[in-house]
Amino acid sequence: MKRVLVLGAGMVAGPLVEYFLRRDSFEVTVADIVPERALRLTAGHPRGRSAALDIEDDARLSSLIAAGDLVVSFVPFPHHPRVAGHCLARGRNLLTASYLSADIKAMDKEAAAKGLIFFNEAGLDPGLDHMEAMRIIDRVRGEGGRVESFVSYCGGLPAPEANTNPFGYKFSWSPSGVLMSCGNAARYLRDGKEIFLPAEKYLDEPARIAIERLGDLEGYPNRDATTYLDAYGIHGAQTVLRGTLRYPGWCRTLKRMREWGLLDDRPRDASLRSYKEFASAKIGLPGAANPADVLKTRFPQEEDVRVVDRLEWLGAFADRPLPPGPRNGLEILAGLMAENMSYRPGERDLVVLRHEITSLFPGGRKETTVSTLTHYGLPEGDSAMARTVSLPAAICGRLILEGAVRQKGVVIPVRAEVYRPVLEELEGYGIRFEEKTTAFS
């Protein structure tokens, strides 16, 4: 019997734990800093166990890892290298749904020499985006073609009927993680020209992305898309862009929140006692009786007035005490968002992933393939985000434990030995892409 250790019992772990517990050949231990969360995922299962774990307790972490055959890390991104180091020391395979970090990438040779698999980017984005992209790209290559343009957008959103707050967003994963991602710079290729957008610029001009049956969403660049020239083997492509999808208005709101200092990650001033005092000080209006009115006077454009209205709705200017826990502005705003922008019982979320790939074939023929995944959460069950992150990771983990992943060392899911069985099995869960190809000369 194979033993799976899951580190972290947060918002996306459930479907993976259930996936392994439904199969008699696996035992699952879930470890979390809040033992009750781990217990909720394993209670009543004869092959399920829960454990308490502070991820910074190296002795405890090492002991748990030693007892597993596969370690699935759903802890926050900065902790993955620590987990990977213990996996190296203990000779255990590792699986994450997070972006591959430089620290883990540096472990490639040592992991390979030990016959280990450190499998990263096994979730939705990154994860399913790679798998569907490579399925199309490999088909194009097999027909003698080459990719000229690759544009991909992905987002987790409220389903239209659950889109009930002024931000057009609800959280199916960590609010802090969402806000922190808005501090990333972006790099991409457009018509052969490399474009770099610093953090203060990349939300400036979102694209309008039409999604069938949903209408127009806004998309903004995400991280460094140029790295996928290597990962996908599409050198020669003139346009390569990866981005994030949101309902209209999100980019302007997050841009202003950052410019006004509300997402500052410096320690907060302990003398500021209320949300109103905190927001006023950050914006540069200390002591303002009504900072929202002052902001609307300074920023009278309709889009900016809507941003202020959203912040008022959120409670950012409320004259009520700040909670004792948050240490900086980003944490304070994340706490307000978690309080006011969570899904209510019975509400569905939605995941949208869209690839647009233009290819050139011998004889001058061109074609554009648009492949779109739209997947809704279960009203009284798992969210779409949890399913599309956790189930691909679970299938990848099973393939690792069954010996179907031949590549050793640091791995991302761009090989057919992984993407074919994963995409095929996911169709049984209703997670499938709709593909439309248009040929032209």
- HSE-CB for 370 with a 13 A CA cutoff: 10
Q: How far apart are CA 314 and CA 201, in angstroms?
A: 25
Q: How far apart are CA 233 and CA 211, in angstroms?
A: 27
Catalytic residue among 32, 125, 349, 382: 125
Q: How far apart are CA 232 and CA 228, in angstroms?
A: 5
Q: Which residues contact 166 (CB under 8 A, 6 or more apart)?
A: 306, 309, 310, 313
Token pair in block for residue 211? 């999604």
Burial class (CB in 10 A: 0-12, 13-18, 19+), 430: exposed
Q: How far apart are CA 232 and CA 237, in angstroms?
A: 11
Look up residue 403 and give its DSSP letter: T
CA dihedral 283, 289, 293, 294 (to 10 degrees): -50
Choose among 268, 74, 92, 84: nearest CA to 177.
74
Token pair in block for residue 130? 């790679």
Choose among 232, 8, 16, 5: nearest CA to 122.
16
Q: Which residues contact 358 (CB under 8 A, 6 or more apart)?
A: 147, 148, 149, 366, 367, 368, 369
Can you spell out the DSSP letters for 264-298? --SBPPTT--BHHHHHHHHHT-TT-S-HHHHHHHH
**At CA 408, angle to CA 402 and CA 413, rounded to 5?**
75
- Whether 32 is catalytic: no
Handedness of CA 283, 288, 293, 294 (dihedral sign): negative
Q: How far apart are CA 119 and CA 407, in angstroms?
A: 10
Give the active site residues: 125
